[in-house]
């Protein structure tokens, strides 16, 4: 793990050095320097883990399902804030796999997959 982070830092530093050295006409000329994405990736990973651990609990009660819904909303917001959009189009994060997290609680309530 330690060596992976060192490699990532070296890659970010190398790309930024190329950007700084770019001259007019180069494809990197005027490009904004990049930032190390590690903290953002870790934040997303932790949100995924919180959601996953709650969704795998057996015998969830109504308050547990409310917590699951809140974690789904949190997860989607963390992904939107920390991961780049696929394209520059407006509302690009409205795709089925992410959006379906919001329906998990409704599905479990509809089919009585919780404890009273």
d(CA 34, CA 11): 10
d(CA 75, CA 105): 14
Question: Do residues 50 and 71 lie in contact, with contact meaning Cβ atoms separated by under 8 Å?
Answer: yes
Give which of 36, 51, 49 is closest to 82, Cα–Cα. 36
pLDDT of 68: 92
What single DSSP character describes residue 27?
T
pLDDT band at 8 (very low <50, low <70, confident <90, very high): low
d(CA 85, CA 67): 27
Question: Do residues 72 and 101 lie in contact, with contact meaning Cβ atoms separated by under 8 Å?
Answer: yes
pLDDT of 37: 81
Q: Name the more confident of 114 and 65.
A: 65
d(CA 54, CA 84): 26
Mean pLDDT of 16-38: 91
């Amino acid at each position: 793990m330690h060596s992976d982070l060192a490699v990532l830092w070296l890659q970010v530093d190398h790309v930024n050095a190329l950007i700084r050295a770019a001259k007019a006409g180069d494809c990197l000329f005027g490009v904004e320097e990049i930032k190390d994405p590690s903290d953002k990736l870790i934040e997303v990973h932790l949100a995924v883990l919180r959601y996953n651990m709650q969704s795998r609990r057996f015998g969830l009660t109504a308050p547990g399902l409310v917590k699951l819904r809140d974690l789904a909303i949190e997860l989607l917001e963390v992904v939107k804030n920390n991961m780049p959009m696929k394209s520059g189009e407006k509302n690009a994060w409205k795709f089925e796999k992410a959006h379906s997290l919001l329906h998990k609680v409704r599905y479990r309530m509809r089919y009585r997959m919780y404890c009273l």
